[in-house]
Amino acid sequence: MAASLRASSSLRSRLLSSSSVCPLWRLLLSSPVHTEAPHQTQTLAFDEIQLSPEKPPTATAFVLHGLLGSGRNWRSFSRTLASELHNRSPSEEWRMVLVDLRNHGRSAGIKGFHPPHNMSTAAKDLADLVKARGWPWPDVVVGHSMGGKVALDFAESCSHGVYGESAVLPKQLWVLDSVPGQVVTDNSDGEVERVLHTLASLPSSLPSRKWVVDHMLSLGFSKSLSEWIGSNLKKDNDQVTWAFDLQAAIDMFDSYRERSYWALLEQPPKDLEIAIVQAERSDRWDPDDVQRLKALAKREPKPDTGKVSLHVLPNSGHWVHVDNPKGLLEIMAPNFLSGVKN
């Protein structure tokens, strides 16, 4: 698998070498990103969801979106999850922090996120956010797709002391349809690459969200994916523009494909559970990777290590919160961390 990755050029190289998209691609990369004012912080932009904000939270979960997304993509699901967790345990007051990762959402308009743009720097941004706000370290980190690997990197770095002595390891990770190892594009239909090629061929300012959705549909993309892409647009005077930095996002996508966290799953730190959710119809998964995860999930627990669990989400492709949010809730709510007191 690693040899295949080394043999293939990066997505950036493939895009820039394509004569059909090069002029518009360079136009897109040279255009500024227009964003709304972020949450007041020198680090990442974020939103908070808490059912009873007047009460002090008893536990905190960070929710991390995937490539080209933003925290708001997970707003509805996070609110529903918080409500369900409260119904199951009324004494617990969960606080959900929906983060806009670097180069995405409102964080794309914040200066100071210097290269390299990869999983490790994106994870360190989370630690910087915790320290800057004076928050307790998150009890749970939920990450979808690229956000799942950021979550894995965050836990790994915490366990290795990268963030300093004050850092506290999360007690649980939810890694949603994110392959923990290196990703070989040949194992999928290249949907992400096709999306990036399409966005690169468009001008930086667009007529409307409806125009973008209709354009994506005309190219054969699904309705749910087209509408999701359209949800990541921001108003810019009489037109709309993307709520992410496409050039930097491509760097992050290359890092997502290249990084492997199998070592973390083989030997999870003590008291950490890593819950992997595989979407039943997702094209991301190699059969060997699935078998490897099943074997890890079946291992007898050891007192000095954490554990891995594997859940399969039926009737869903990669976009789990869009394709089957009810099924995802039914997996996560009963297995979500409980009994936490900050």
The confidence score (pLDDT) of residue 187 equals 54
Please give the structure tokens belonging to residue 330.
Answer: 């039914």
- Mean pLDDT for 306-310 is 97
- Is residue 107 within 8 Å of residue 100, measured between CB atoms? yes
Q: Residues 245-268: pLDDT tens digits?
A: 888 888 999 999 999 999 999 999
**Spatial distance between the Cα atoms of 198 and 191, rounded to a whole number of angstroms:** 10
Please give the structure tokens belonging to residue 259.
Answer: 């990084």
- Is residue 33 within 8 Å of residue 62, measured between CB atoms? no
**What does the mean pLDDT of the chain come to?**
86
Residue boundaries of the structural domains of the chain:
46-185+247-335, 191-243
Third-level CATH fold of 46-185+247-335: Rossmann fold (3.40.50)
Strand ranges across the sheet with 59-64: 45-50, 94-100, 59-64, 140-144, 172-176, 273-279, 307-313
**Phi, psi dihedral angles at 239 (to 5 degrees):** -125, -175
Cis ω on the peptide bond leading into residue 116 (within 30° of 0)? yes
Q: Residues 29-87: pLDDT tens digits?
A: 333 333 333 344 468 999 999 999 999 999 999 999 999 889 999 999 999 999 999 99
- Mean pLDDT for 164-169 is 96
The model's pTM: 0.83
Residue with tokens 């800057």: 132
Q: C-alpha distances in angstroms, 174 versus 65, 108, 144?
A: 12, 25, 8
